[in-house]
Amino acid sequence: MISGITKDHQRFRNIIKGRIRKDLRRFLTRSELIGREGRKAISIPVADIDPPHFRYGDNSDSGVGSGDGKPGDQADTQGDGVAPGGDQEGRHILEVEVSLDELADILGEELQLPRIEPKGRKQITSLKDRYIGIRQTGPESLRHFKRTYRRALRRQIMTGAYDPTNPSIIFERGDKVFRSWKTVMSPQSNAVILYMMDVSGSMGDEQKELVRLEAFWIDAWLRRNYQGIESRYIVHDVRAGEVDRDTFFRIREDGGTRISSAFKAAKDLIENQYVADEWNVYLFHFSDGDNSSESDSRECCNILRDTLLPISNMFGYCQVASAYGSGNFINTLHEHVADEEKLVTSRVNTKDDIYDSIKAFFSAGK
């Protein structure tokens, strides 16, 4: 009897996506989106798409309510009284739910990011047992109660053994049915993202905020491209250590910077836990580029060239602007490792640069 609503709904979603896409640059800078992740969908506000009407303006904010209270008491719940504006649709912001995947798709379309091709030999096949069938024999623990019950009930009704006033159902052997499984092979590509961040004294809250945003979108895009992706986090000043996600974004240390410590830690972690042939490895390093010594920077270049780049799909270096320091590390990288195409660098000075940074990282489709 009902047709068309699915189409209308689809159309509405497309319009919404178009809106988000148009405003993507602005969305990329919204820090309130973060923290809502983890849930499958995030609700984001878009400018109301309802056609404009001639309507009353803001000096109409009074109305009639009912309840207790003396003059001066608060009268609103959410301010959505029956004001003369007759504005029952709420205010002019529409909250829509968009899944992270959809958001990542929009990101990909707008930035014209190619889908990532997992390396061929890294596509391993996993075997999984799925309970998708039914059969007459099996262990009691797999008995399908509902079906068994139905068969028993049917049998009792047919044989006249069923008594509505005393509806007890007793199974017989022939009633019992069991779940059965089938082994399915599913191709799987595994990926790990390793985030490294400089938490030395010169990285302030503002810089961390940029890192958080950038990492959020990197995560969103890579998760869209791989199933079963893992994220690992390393922080460093002069020493490096692995932390959990939460700490990664909140921790604040003082002290100097030795970037090579992080690179070494990354190398250890990957070599020990992620077999290079089976994993797509993504490395991202965020820093303000103020390394302690030029010799350490050069050591970094060596580690990159010799180990990290060969075992990874890409290495993204993102340099955020800081009030202190030279920010020279990016130049050193350009100078010494410029010929490696797996190395991608970008500078993010303000939130607005995130858009271009993401584009720089993923436009190669690796």
Could you list the residues that contact another protein (CB under 8 A)? 1-5, 7-13, 15, 49-77, 79-87, 94, 96-97
Report d(CA 315, CA 304) in Å as an integer. 9
What is the token pair recorded at 184?
């399915």
Rounded to the nearest whole angstrom, what is the least distance from the CB of residue 23 to another protein in the complex?
18
Alpha carbon distance, N-terminus to C-terminus of the chain: 48
- SS3 category, 192: strand
Q: Do the Cβ atoms of 43 and 96 come closer than 8 Å?
A: yes
Rounded to the nearest whole angstrom, what is the least distance from the CB of residue 87 to another protein in the complex?
8
Rounded to the nearest whole angstrom, what is the least distance from the CB of residue 24 to another protein in the complex?
20
State which residue, 75 or 169, has the beta carbon closest to another protein: 75
What is the token pair recorded at 365?
């489709």
DSSP string of 2-18, one letter each residue: --SHHHHHHHHHHHHHH
Return the residue matching tokens 């504005």. Answer: 87
State which residue, 15 or 338, has the beta carbon closest to another protein: 15
Rounded to the nearest whole angstrom, what is the least distance from the CB of residue 91 to another protein in the complex?
12
- SS3 category, 148: helix
Return the residue matching tokens 């809250």. Answer: 205
What is the token pair recorded at 116?
């990532």
Question: How does DSSP classify residue 276?
Answer: T
State which residue, 53 or 121, has the beta carbon closest to another protein: 53
Report d(CA 184, CA 94) in Å as an integer. 43
State which residue, 8 or 254, has the beta carbon closest to another protein: 8
Rounded to the nearest whole angstrom, what is the least distance from the CB of residue 4 to another protein in the complex?
6
State which residue, 16 or 265, has the beta carbon closest to another protein: 16
Cα three-residue angle 296-300-301, rounded to 5 degrees: 120
Rounded to the nearest whole angstrom, what is the least distance from the CB of residue 106 to another protein in the complex?
17
Report d(CA 182, CA 186) in Å as an integer. 12
Report d(CA 283, CA 343) in Å as an integer. 10
Rounded to the nearest whole angstrom, what is the least distance from the CB of residue 301 to another protein in the complex?
52
Phi-psi region of 292 (alpha: psi -120 to 50; beta: other; left: phi over 0): alpha
State which residue, 10 or 293, has the beta carbon closest to another protein: 10
Rounded to the nearest whole angstrom, what is the least distance from the CB of residue 329 to another protein in the complex?
47
State which residue, 7 or 173, has the beta carbon closest to another protein: 7
Report d(CA 330, CA 360) in Å as an integer. 15
Nearest to 194 by CA among 113, 251, 265, 298: 265
State which residue, 46 or 107, has the beta carbon closest to another protein: 46
